[in-house]
Structures are given as structure tokens and as C-alpha cells.
Amino acid sequence: MRWRVRSRSGSASATPSAPAPPRAGTACSSRASRWRTGRSRRCRSTSTTATSARRSSTPRTPRATQASARSVADRALAAAVSRLGPAFASAHGATGLIPYVTAGYPSLEASLELLLAFDRLGARAVEVGIPFSDPIADGPDIQRAAEWALRARVGMVEALELVARLRARSQLPVVVMTYANPALRGGAEDFARRARAAGVDGVLISDLPPEESPEVWAALDREGLDTVTLVAPTTDDARLPRLLARARGFVYCLARTGVTGRGEGYAGVLPERVAALRRATTLPVAVGFGIADAMQARALRGVADAIVVGAAFMRAVAEDPARGVVERVGGLAAALVEALS
């Protein structure tokens, strides 16, 4: 099944498409140039001869080998530019906190202050959610946050500007959590370039399976962006290797099925699932979906490389969006960090 663009907009302000880059080549390859110079026949003949010579003198490389080489190169580029790898490596196996915020909830200024507070508290990385009208993977808390931000006309452009403002004051690794519709409306290349320019380290497109739209993943790879993949409790052994092969930065292990938010009853079998994942990959494993308090965090200390917490923070914001947001959310984050230490 191929990805299908949703009809509804994820933002009140659409992201403009960047103009397509000019095609590489000589002046002879341009139709206008050929008409001006009158040398199109000679250029075409010379180009054909040179191409034939290269083909005859250069041994063919099997496609599988070429794909493998590209994969190695993509991983090397991501490792060189992403902050995620060093952040996990410097932790020496300790379990860290990855907080989530919806960009623009309750305001862009408050979002920036929350991200800076997470940095001061020692978060391993942060997730910044792009507001979207159909967040199918999110529960009511993050849905409410997205609706609030969309009413304030916060979309992809504003969210990436938020990341850029954070980047000017912090080197905290940033993963953008989004859906295919808002991310790819202007094209995969445009989104990847904008994300890299803003200082994004990784991208999680929650409704785009790794098996689909290879051109999207290739565009992210070319910009050196880590691509975080989701592994669900229902993921079978046949599909798992494909997910892990696509993963960069870290693997996101879902604590349970369903949507983000409150959940219980997963801690008993979760350590075994995480241990199996860690045997299957050299990447760090982060656990999310339903982790809300210090007791749940403590149960995962030493089990996962990180825990991802989002809905609990958005609930804390919702208690009073106008007052005490940083204090309330910061207090919860501090309790989670202490439980993991």
C-alpha cells in the first residue's frame, strides 16, 4: 500500500515549496543554449561518445552492492551531523529522558522555555511535535495540544523556526515528530532541507512505514537526518529486521498498542521485549507510549536507553495554560529524571 496524502491541512499556514534546483549538466544540455549556439548535434554526439567510452571501460557494479554502499554512506553522514549518537554514547548505558512538546502549545514562547528547561534538567534529547489536524497515533492530550496550536496558526514553518531558536541557545538533540501530510506537502527534499537548516537531528514520521515511499527516506538520508522507526508489540519477527535496517539514531519501542497517553499493564513483559530488541540492534532503544509517572519510569531504569514522555507533560500544561507552565512541567520532568538516576 502506498502512502496517500490526506485532504485536510495540518496547519493554517501552508509551507511554501522551495524552487526545484537547476538540473546539473553542460550548457549543451539546455534547450535554450542549443538554440543559441547551434551546436546541439555536435554536443550530443560528443556526449554519446564519452558516455559509451565510460560504459565500456567501467565495470558494472551490482545494484545490491550499490544500494549497500549508499546505506553505509547514509549512516556515516547521519553519524557525522546528528547529535543523537554522541548524546547516547556519553550516557554510558544510563537511562535518559526524552520529553515531548507540541510546538506552539500553549504558545511558541512557552514551548521554547519548556525545551530550555528540559535541557537544564539533563534530558537526553527532545521530541518536538508538528501540529496536525489528524494525529491518528496520539491520544486526547496531544490531540488537544495540536488543536490549540493550529488555532494559533502554528504549523510546519513555525515549528521549525522554534527548533532554530532552540538551536541558537542549546545543543540538545531534537527529533521532529510529524505525520506524512504536513511533512511532505511541499515535497520530501524541501522538508529535509528545511529540517536540517533549522538544526533538527532526527525525524519520526509516525504514519509512514519504512517499507513505503523510499524516496522520502532517501531525501532524509541525504541531509544526514536520523530516521527513527517505531517497533510495536505486534511487530513480527519477519518485519523486525526491515524496521531495524531503516532505523537511525535510536529505535522507538512502543510500550503498548493504541495511542499516546495513559496506559497500564505493559511493564511486566516490556523488559523482555526491550532486551530482545537490544540483542537485535546496536542502536539505543527508547520506550514510549503511556509512560506518565516516576513509578513507571523507575521500572524501566536500566532496561531501556531512554524513555519518551509526552502526554503527561501536555496534561500538565492543560491544567492552566496561562500560568505556571514551566514550573509544573519542569517539576514532573525533574521527578522523572530522579527516578531514572
User: Nine-digit cell at 234?
Assistant: 505486534
Query: Can you tell me the mean pLDDT for 146-154?
Result: 98
How distant, in Å, are the alpha carbons of 150, 183, 239 from that of 7? 16, 14, 30
Q: How far apart are CA 332 and CA 259, in angstroms?
A: 21
Eight-state DSSP code of residue 237: T
Greatest alpha-carbon span in the chain: 77
How distant, in Å, are the alpha carbons of 66, 117, 185, 194 from that of 198? 31, 20, 18, 6
Residue 69 or 271, more confident: 271
Task: Enumerate the active-site residues.
Answer: 127, 138
The whole-number pLDDT of residue 263 equals: 54
Q: Look at residue 241 and tell me whether its pLDDT is greater than 80.
A: yes
- The phi and psi torsions of 33 (rounded to 5 degrees) equal -65, -40
Residue 6 or 289, more confident: 289
Among the listed ranges 13-27, 249-263, 313-327, which one has the minimum average pLDDT value? 13-27
Distance between first and last Cα of the chain: 43
pTM of the model: 0.76
pLDDT in tens, 271-291: 899 999 999 999 999 999 889
Query: Can you tell me the mean pLDDT for 190-201?
Result: 98
Q: Estimate to the nearest angstrom the gap between the alpha carbon of 135 and the chain centroid.
A: 15
